[in-house]
Structure 1
Amino acid sequence: MTDDAGTADTMRERAGENRLKLWLLLRANRLVVAGVLTVVVFVAFVIAANGLSPSLAEKLGAKDPIETLFSGMITAIVTGVTLVVTIGQLVLTQENGPLGDQRERMAGSMDVRGSIADLTGSPTPTDPAEFLEAILGTASARSRDLRAAVRERASGDDTTVGDDPKADAGVVALRDDVDRLAEAVVGNADAARGSLDGAQFGTFDVVFAALDFNYGRKIARTERVASEHAARLTERERVLLDELRESLSLFGPAREHVKTLYFQWALIDLSRLICYAAVPALIVAAVMVAAVDVGTFPGNTLGVAHVTLVVGGAFALTLLPFALFVSYVLRVLTLAKRTLAIEPLVLRDSAR
């Protein structure tokens, strides 16, 4: 589905990216992505170590690259965990502060909740998915009200006027523009609400569903309708158009707030997972340095030396913390790039 300005509604269509690539960067489970990266490293290592001349097994007979390799990995793991702890501290720093700062933070949040309650006419939901869904529902309802008001007047004008063809054409143009605007808002909002229904915060589903509502271009369209038909809009229609623009504008900060909370949640999860993975990775690296040599795993399978498989598997396992880091950072950076502009600015050539 595309809006009346020619810009796709869903984030995947706006980005113009390959479906598989976008799934890998955003939708795929991060643990699965990390696991796939680990397997790819293992396979690539075994192929390279066994295929190059001389092979890893032959090199082990002359010197010991195992100690050199895994000694470096021990240093890398310790340094990486230290970096992750630092990132976690930066995230937690935003949650700490004196009582006055916490009070201002709470007051600001409650003011926004009051604004959303006034907008929707009901208490603001506490669930993030329902929070966004309430704003989308209001935008959809207001676009329907605007369309109904313009259609009602256009229908009345069709039966009462006729001496001024230009005026008739202007009202018809207004009706057509509002119809297209309402169709874009209602269709896109209802689709996004369907994706938000039942989505739980902590997973990526809430944020991804919010990305599929292209509110920026719809705000721009309401501004064009107000400008191009300023002389034809009645006072009631102008109020309804302003109310629709207000609901669309409020969705931007709401989405950014939920996105920021997700960033913090994801970085905390990342820090915890890397700490979990670092302990077995250190054990594997230490065992490889202390206990494994050329004679520890004799023989071969399908032409691949057992020692090559063991070294490759151990190397892949020691890289697991790094694979977790890459999988999470890819999603965070991709999401940040797709949502750089909160206002109606188009940063992608494919969306212009």
Structure 2
Amino acid sequence: MPDDETPSDRMSERVAGSRLKQWLLLEADRWLVTGLLLAVVFGALVGIGTLVPGGAAAIRSGDPIGTLFQGLLTATITGVTLVLTLNQLVLSQELGAVGDQRDRMDGAMAFRDDVATEIGTPVSPARPAQFLRALVDVAGERAADLRAAVSETTDAELREEITEFSDSLIQNAEQVSASLDDEQFGTFDMMSSALNFNYSWKIFAARRISERYADSLGADADDTLDELIAVLKLFGPAREHFKTLYFQWDLINLSRQILAVSVPALLVSAVMIVFFDAADYAGTVAGVDTLVVAVAAATTLAVLPFMLLIAYVMRIATVTKHTLSIGPFILRETDDVSEVEWDQ
């Protein structure tokens, strides 16, 4: 398996875009992203109001302020309604008859028992980070066993391919296991660590080895490879389950925060409609007309709920886009694997 056929394990390196873009979309604190978006809005409004000839005079003539903030007031109320819809979406996953809840419980317990059996422990870990870490650690151990199982084979090509595959998997498993240590559910750091274990490619590569070298593997290596694939197949649904729970957690946090910031946004819009008088604002601030600065600041505060929504949705949409498929499917354009074919 040549190096140029193997995609990077880190999700940020498997997708297109600069490191800064990936940081803004995924890793940065959502309030920091919201603050950056608000700064762009404020800077754009002040810049346009300063550069456009007669910008301040246009604000003082007619009733542009009332028209603007009436629209923002309506948009904020609509945004609160959207938040209630998001809450209903999250709650709909938790509501159900007792029979449905029992089926969910039975399914969860059965999956935990399967994982416990596969990793060789009486009870699988209860914390999500430790649950995923156990699967990753066992995958690394079985990759080492696979490498040892073919160490004396006479097929040099098989030994080279298994060694490269195993070394890559072990290194990735060690990195992910270390990053998952002591991570708490509800933080993106835990999800980011789990997303950096490229299990789907590893299943594909392992199955390709199994088919390509079926006559050369030997019974022990073949069994070890099957055991490795089995634990990788358990990691997939486990990660998807915790990803779903994380999205629900994030949407709940988003709902609470938007409800909180909607109150000052509504107040700012109402004050600008009812009490604001452009004639009272004369002079300049740092060379910019005071009226332009005041209107830009009020507008920035009024769009705070919308900017916060954008910040959260950017991350949720990005993660969803790059984890749509479960199993050994590659939906995105990945430079490293563009020419890989299933050849035997």
The bucket for the TM-score relative to the shorter chain is over 0.9
**AA at the equivalent of 1:131:** F
Q: What displacement does 1:4 show?
A: 7.4
* Cα distance, 1:144–1:137 mapped onto 2, change above 3 Å: same
> Are the aligned partners of 1:298 and 1:306 in contact in 2 as well (CA < 8 Å)?
yes
Match of 2:247 among 263, 269, 277: 263
Alignment of 1:267-282 (within 5 A): 267-282=251-266
Q: CA deviation at 1:249?
A: 1.2
269, 284, 305: which one aligns with 2:289 = 305
Deviations 1:251-306 (A, max 9, x none): 11111111101111111111111100100000011111111112232221232121
| Conservation of the 8 A alpha-carbon contact between 1:3 and 1:9 | no
CA 5–61 in structure 1, closer or farther in 2 if over 3 Å, else same = closer
Code of the residue aligned with 2:182 in structure 1: it is G
What residue is the counterpart of 1:164 in the other structure? none
Residue in structure 2 matched with residue 236 of structure 1 by the alignment: 220
Match of 1:288 among 272, 281, 293: 272
Query: Who is 1:66 aligned against?
Result: 65
Per-residue deviation, 1:214 = 1.0
SS in 1 for 2:5: coil
Q: TM-score, normalised by structure 1?
A: 0.92
The percent of aligned pairs where both chains have the same amino acid is 45
Q: Secondary structure at the match of 1:295?
A: helix
1:66·1:293 contact (CA, 8 Å) conserved in 2?
no
Which structure 2 segments of 5+ residues have no match? 338-344
Distance 1:298 1:261 in 2: 53
Q: Are 1:274 and 1:325, in contact at CA under 8 Å, matched by a contact in 2?
A: yes
The CA RMSD measured in Å over matched residues stands at: 1.4
- Give distance in 1, aligned partners of 2:215 and 2:92: 53
CA contact (8 A) 1:3 1:184 kept: no
Query: How many Å apart are 1:83 and its aligned residue?
Result: 1.1
* More moved, 99-108 vs 61-70: 61-70
Task: Please list the CA deviations of residues 45-83 of structure 1 after superposition, one character each: whole Å capped at 9, or x if unmatched.
Answer: 11111221221x212432221111111111110011101
Distance 2:112 2:186 in 1: 21
Q: What is aligned with 1:41?
A: 41
Give the greater-gyration-radius structure (CA): 1
Taking structure 1 as reference, are residues 104 and 4 closer, same or farther at Cα in structure 2, changes over 3 Å only?
farther
Amino acid at match of 1:92: L
What is the alpha-carbon distance in structure 1 between the residues aligned to residue 274 and residue 218 of structure 2? 83
TM-superposed CA distance for 1:139, in Å, is 0.3
TM-score w.r.t. length of structure 2: 0.94
Would you say 1:99 and 2:98 are equivalent positions? yes
2: CA distance, partners of 1:271 / 1:281: 15
1:142 aligns with 2:160: no
Distance 1:67 1:13 in 2: 47
- SS across alignment from 1:349: coil
1:15-59 CA-to-partner distances (Å, cap 9, x unmatched) read 13210000000000001101111111011011111221221x212
Deviation beyond 3 Å, 4+ runs, structure 1: 2-5
Task: Name the CA shift for 1:51/1:237 in 2 (closer, same or farther; >3 Å).
Answer: same
Equivalent residues in 2 for 1:205-216 (5 A)?
205-216=189-200
How many residue pairs match? The answer is 334
Q: What letter corresponds to residue 112 of structure 1 in structure 2? A: F
**Separation (CA, whole Å) in 1 of partners of 2:37 and 2:115:** 43
Instruction: Show the counterpart of 2:230.
Output: 246
Q: What is the aligned partner in structure 2 of residue 165 from structure 1? A: none
Q: Partners of 2:3 and 2:259 in 1: how far apart?
A: 45
Structure 2 residue identity aligned to 1:314: A
Q: Which runs of 5+ in 1 are unaligned?
A: 155-167
Pick the aligned partner of 1:202 from 157, 168, 186: 186
Partner Cα separation in structure 2 for residue 128 and residue 177 of structure 1: 33
Q: How does 1:107-146 map to 2 (within 5 A)?
A: 107-122=106-121, 123-146=123-146
**d(CA) in 1 for partners of 2:220, 2:233:** 20
